[in-house]
Amino acid sequence: MSQPSTQVSLWPEGKRFAFTVFDDTDLGTCEKLRSVYALLDKLGFRTTKSCWGKRGDPKSGKYSGETLDDEQYRNWILDLQSKGFEIGWHGATWHTARRREVAEALDRFAEVFGHDPAAATNHTGARESIYWGGHRLTGWRRTVYNLLTCYRNSGKYGGHIEGNDLFWGDICRQRIKYYRNFTFRDINTLKACPFMPYHDPLRPYVNYWFAASDGHDVQTFNHCIGEAEQDRLEEEGGACLMYTHFAMGFSDPRGVNPRFEKLMRRLAKKNGWFVPVGVLLDHLLDRRGPRQITAAKRSGLETRWLWEKIFVGTT
Ligand SMILES: [Zn+2]
């Protein structure tokens, strides 16, 4: 059954729904990404492409890629920015960085793009990640998560812990507006997390959290934005903030994945608002005011995420 049209009025310019993407930069290079972004540009999507501030150690981390230290890549990202894409933050580099390195990489970001990043996500290979691993969850849900992951991620991440040598939470609060936590399998992210962007008083170094829909590789992405799902997103007047890695299977030397291209062309023909993550979240914040998550809502969100993680395998 369709939702009433009250949600439709959330969007400006008479748009019926919103759709955007946060592209995690893991494995990202100009070569792998150019054709994907050329397609997005041509179809009128303006999304968020994340980056790393500096080149890391090639011997560390599994998912290295190009960074702001690579001139060709930097110029290509600047060109994307000039076309209206947003550049987001994915940490200093592809492996763990200390507080000073994070601050320097953020300075580099601001120097290149003219401002601090609006939207950011943790990189799992970086131990300075903030409220990550078991710290994403509260109470018994953290215990369940730690048991499920055999305590692999318990105590691993220290970006939010004062006194830890990886602490940079105060810098995060000063310089970054939106941070991602939970992802869900549904295309309508706003249905899964209707109160985003939200502040969580238990996780105060993040100004506002946002959720995302899980499209971490091309198969998951295509599944999430299938024809029926697109139609439902439109009917529900919702918003999809897709989380993905565009360097993971979306293109090869022959071009862009055909199913992805077909689905994006179909979506582009709809009356959607296709703006970057920061613009979409700013709009929700302006429209509805700042929101603080309640204990009951936190519990609902965390339980749903944990359930999907166990039974669907969301990230
Ligand atoms: Zn990553």
The pLDDT of 120-132, averaged and rounded, is 95
Instruction: Give residue 4 CA to ligand 1 midpoint distance, Å.
Output: 37
Distance CA 73, CA 150 (A): 38
For ligand 1, the distance from its centroid to the CA atom of residue 124, given in whole angstroms, is 6
**CA 266–ligand 1 middle distance (angstroms):** 28
CA dihedral 33, 39, 44, 49 (to 10 degrees): -10
> For residue 165, how far is its CA from the centre of ligand 1 (angstroms)?
21
* Average confidence (pLDDT) over 25-50: 97
If you search the block for the tokens 């509805």, which residue do you land on? 288
Residue range 279-289, pLDDT digits in tens: 999 999 999 99
Report how far ligand 1's centroid is from the alpha carbon of 212 (Å): 14
Ligand 1 centroid to residue 11 C-alpha, Å:
30
29-56: b (≥16 Cβ within 10 Å) or e: beebbebbbebbbeeebbbbbbbbbbeb
pLDDT score, position 72: 97
Distance 38 CA to ligand 1 centre (A): 22
Could you give the angle at the alpha carbon of 89 between the alpha carbons of 203 and 164, nearest 5°?
45
Query: In the beta sheet, which residues pair with residue 199?
Result: 292
Average pLDDT over residues 127-142: 95
Query: How much distance in Å is there from the Cα of 250 to the middle of ligand 1?
Result: 16
How many Å apart are CA 210 and CA 255, to the nearest integer? 32
Phi, psi of 265 (to 5 degrees): -65, -40
Q: How many angstroms is it from 131 CA to the middle of ligand 1? A: 15
* pLDDT at residue 153 is higher than 60: yes
> Considering the chain, what is the average pLDDT of its residues?
94
Residue 281 Cα to ligand 1 midpoint, Å, equals: 21
Return d(Cα 243, Cα 119) in angstroms, integer.
12
- Give the C-alpha separation, 178 to 197, whole Å: 8
Please give the distance, rounded to the nearest whole angstrom, from the Cα atom of residue 24 to the centre of ligand 1: 5
Res. 6: pLDDT tops 60 = no
For residue 216, report the distance from its CA to the centre of ligand 1, in Å: 10
Tokens of 8: 């439709």
Query: How confident is the model over 222-256, as pLDDT tens digits?
Result: 999 999 999 999 999 999 999 999 999 999 999 99
Neighbours of ion ligand 1 (CB under 5 A): 24, 26, 123
What's the 110 CA to ligand 1 centre distance in angstroms?
Answer: 20
Place of tokens 């996780």: 203
Cα 186 to ligand 1 centroid, rounded to whole Å? 21
Ligand 1 centroid from CA 46, angstroms: 21
Long-range contacts of 297-303 (CB under 8 A, 24+ apart): 297/195, 297/198, 298/138, 298/200, 298/202, 299/138, 299/141, 301/182, 301/192, 301/193, 301/211, 302/136, 302/137, 302/138, 302/141, 302/182, 303/141
Contacts of 44 (CB under 8 A, 6+ apart): 268, 274
Q: How many Å lie between the centroid of ligand 1 and the Cα of residue 222?
A: 20
What's the Rg (C-alpha) of the chain?
18
Residue-range domains of the chain with CATH: 20-311 (3.20.20)
Instruction: For residue 9, report the distance from its CA to the centre of ligand 1, in Å.
Output: 34
* Residue 229 three-state SS: helix
CA 288 vs CA 40, 182, 281, 283, 292: distances in Å: 29, 21, 11, 8, 12
pTM for the structure as a whole? 0.95
CB 38 within 8 A of CB 80: no
User: How far apart are the CA of 25 and the centre of ligand 1, in A?
Assistant: 6
Query: In the structure, what pLDDT confidence band is assigned to residue 4 with cuts at 50, 70 and 90?
Result: very low
- Number of residues that this document lists for the chain: 315
How far apart CA 62 and CA 66 sit, in angstroms, is: 13
Ligand 1 geometric centre to CA of 274 (Å): 23
Q: Which residues contact 312 (CB under 8 A, 6 or more apart)?
A: 185
